[in-house]
Structure 1
Amino acid sequence: MSLEACAALVERGDPDRFRVAMAAPPPAREILFPLYAFNLEIARAPWATREPMLAEMRLQWWRDQVAACAAGMLPPPHEVLTPLGQLLRESRLDPAPLDALIETRRRDIEAEPFLADDLRTYLEGTAGNLLWAGAKALGSPEPTRPAALQAGFASGLASWLLALPELSARNRGLADETPATIRALATDALAALAKARRTRFGPGTPALRAATLAAPVLRAARHDPDAALQGRLAPPEGPKRLRLLWATLRGGW
């Protein structure tokens, strides 16, 4: 029940965000690793059972625990909740975006495809709130929140498109799963990413590096939407690592 345990969970379950956290200064890792491990727990909860009521109960448990920790209460022993709860009790994490993230994840309980407009709302609520929680905890000012949600939409869509074949097989893809719809989503996300990058996030910038890897995936989806439908979007590991390294060296994202 430590930072190391959270880091190990993220390394196994979310290797891209693991690299983002490792590229951040050590004090930032104390926030990012528990936050990213929490995100994994929430993302998995609706998929861990076929019973909607049990999935609801899992998410509600997390919601209750976040609220209790933010109010100063000690959580039950848990490898993720223990370090996360400490950050909440010390007011180093804002519980609001975490609560909003959990609430948005309720949509995953429904085995229904997304309308394109609803997908953007969902991605801002999940990946967007995750980015904002990290950026705010590291020191980004409140006015940067809309840009963080835009960056989250772009980052979330890139990850979502990489998983599209599996999501579609589970009836959780797009209601209008056509190349035109995918191209339009990728185009909108690239525009949102470009707009977000004009915002200065200050000390919260390391948290935004989770969106650094989105642009190549989105450009590929815009150029060849069938690649998303056929599971051919994944970029090579080498260029991904170099892209993150370059963003870190120049202090941007």
Structure 2
Amino acid sequence: MAEAPALSAPAEIARRHDPDRFLCALFAPAEKRETVFTLIAFNHELARAREAAREPLMALIRLQWWREAVEEAVAGKPARRHEVAEPLSREIRAGALDPAALLRMVEVREEAETGEEAVPLIDRLRGTAGAMAAETGRLLGVPEEGLDGLRRIGTAYGLAGTLRSLAVLAAQERDPLPPGREPAEAARELAREGLMLLEEGRRSLSFLPRQAVAAALPAVLAQRDLRRVLRPDWQPGAPPAPRALGDRLAVTWAGWRGRV
């Protein structure tokens, strides 16, 4: 039996570090899949700027490195020698990825590092996870009028991921919940807001091209995660559980149907 072809570096990074989006990306058209993997890998590199650097200054330096990598690709300069920077440069120079959207993703994280408390959680997620969903949709052929719906879906997915990771964030001395509230109730209020964003996003996607379903598939996981937060037995301090088979099957079924 022939061995399966090895994954590219961006695809392997996506599979290892962002398995949710990796699974969703498998439903993108084959000719667009590597671009989606590269976008996921770029987003991971931005996210790990905070994880890999305890001091905000070091995180800002890492983010500036990626800002310059994008700007250099736009200027036609040689790509930086890095397993993500090189394919990222190729995709930008080919016109597959929008550099303005990528730079905005960097900017939002820079703003968080210079004063996280001044950036409301929903606004930050709109500029990160929301921007990810919108840019994925754009490169998969979603018209401009559909991108705001994807941005709402992506924001809800980012919010669900934040609530799943509260224990991990607490270990990093980070608390994204609004102050002055009992943690479980504050989290449930955010979960309800996330479900509203999902519903708004779905309503605005009255027609989603089938080839773009990968951009909207995180909605399936977001809905399941947010509903778990609303269960009476849910606790904010519990470590995130591994993805259950039911989650993966739900994404697969929605992907095959071409609807979320």
TM-score when scaled to structure 2?
A: 0.87
1:197 aligns with 2:213: no
Once the two structures are overlaid, the 10-residue window that deviates more, 86-95 or 66-75, is 66-75
Cα RMSD after superposing both structures: 2.2
Aligned residue type for 2:46:
I
In 1, distance between residues paired with 2:66 and 2:148? Answer: 25
> Contact (CA 8 Å) 2:28, 2:213: kept in 1 or not?
no
Alignment-derived partner of residue 250 in structure 2: 243
Aligned counterpart, 1:131: 133
Matched letter for residue 106 of structure 1? E
Kindly report which structure 2 residues correspond to 1:91-110, keeping only aligned pairs within 5 A, or say none: 91-109=95-113
> Is the CA contact 1:3–1:33 (under 8 Å) kept in the aligned structure 2?
no
CA–CA distance in 2 between the matches of 1:8 and 1:236? 18
Report Cα offsets for 1:104-139 as digits up to 9, x if no partner.
122553686x58x81110111110011111111111
Whether the 8 Å CA contact 1:24–1:206 is kept in 2: the answer is yes
Return the TM-score normalized by structure 1. 0.90
- For residue 67 of structure 2, what is the aligned residue in structure 1? 63
* Aligned residue in 2 for 1:212: 220
Pick aligned residue for 2:16 from 6, 12, 26: 12
Which residue is equivalent to 1:79?
83
2:171 to 166, 169, 172: 169
Partner SS for 1:223: coil
Give the aligned partner of residue 141 of structure 1. 143
- Structure 1: tracts of 5 or more residues without a match: none
Q: 1:118 to 1:157 in 2, by over 3 A?
A: same
**1:187 aligns to what?**
192
- How many residues align structurally? 249
Structure 2 contact 156–195 (Cα < 8 Å) conserved? yes
What amino acid is the match of 2:70?
V
Describe the superposition over 1:11-58 as per-residue Cα deviations: whole angstroms up to 9, x where unpaired.
111111121122322112121111111111110012212232221111
**Structure 2 CA distance, aligned partners of 1:146 and 1:75?**
31
How far is 1:74 from its partner? Answer: 2.4
Name the aligned partner's letter for residue 40 of structure 2: Y
Q: Distance in 1 between matches of 2:186 and 2:215?
A: 29
Q: Which amino acid aligns with 1:239?
A: G
